Amino acid sequence: DRDNLFVIRSLTKFYALPGLRLGFGVTSPLRRGLMEGHKDGWNVNVLAQYAGVAGLRDRAYQQASRQLVQQEKDWLYEQMTALPGLHVYRPCVNFIFWRLTGEGKRTADLADALRADGILIRDCANYPGLTAAYGRNAVRPRFENERFVEKMREKLSKFWFSLKY
């Protein structure tokens, strides 16, 4: 009922469908009408449509995913706040946002070190208003989170003492 509001939801991450780039938007009939004239003739391919419909119907998966993320983000946050050299922000989503402390520390360097062990983190240096010290990581199942914390502890201790302040 508001012509200035457009709510967008992505199914890509929640349903682990990164190649499909699938999502939807909800808005007023007026806003939808204005946007209709500016879109391609095709919205979503048929494979993505079937995957989206199946995902949206699977209420058990949705509940289990929400429960897992809630439980694991709290556990992961507590573990990460104990790591040296990090300022960790309390999460309200399915990733943990943090900043490396200490002058000259770059998330890109940490990301390179972790990548060698098959762990990916997001360097947030290109986000408007942030610096090279900011990063984030996904909330994953417990066994992956445990490995992540172990590798972060290992890399941060080496990383921290190998760079000059």
Its pTM stands at 0.76
Domain with CATH 3.90.1150.10 in the chain: 75-162
104: left (phi over 0), alpha (psi -120 to 50) or beta: left
Measure CA 73 to chain center: 12
> What is residue 127's predicted lDDT score, i.e. its pLDDT?
95
DSSP code, position 53: H
- Residues in the chain where the model's pLDDT stays below 70: 160-165
Q: Looking at residue 116, what is its pLDDT?
A: 93
Position 164 scores a pLDDT of: 45
Domain 75-162, what fold? Aspartate Aminotransferase, domain 1 (3.90.1150)
pLDDT of residue 160: 66
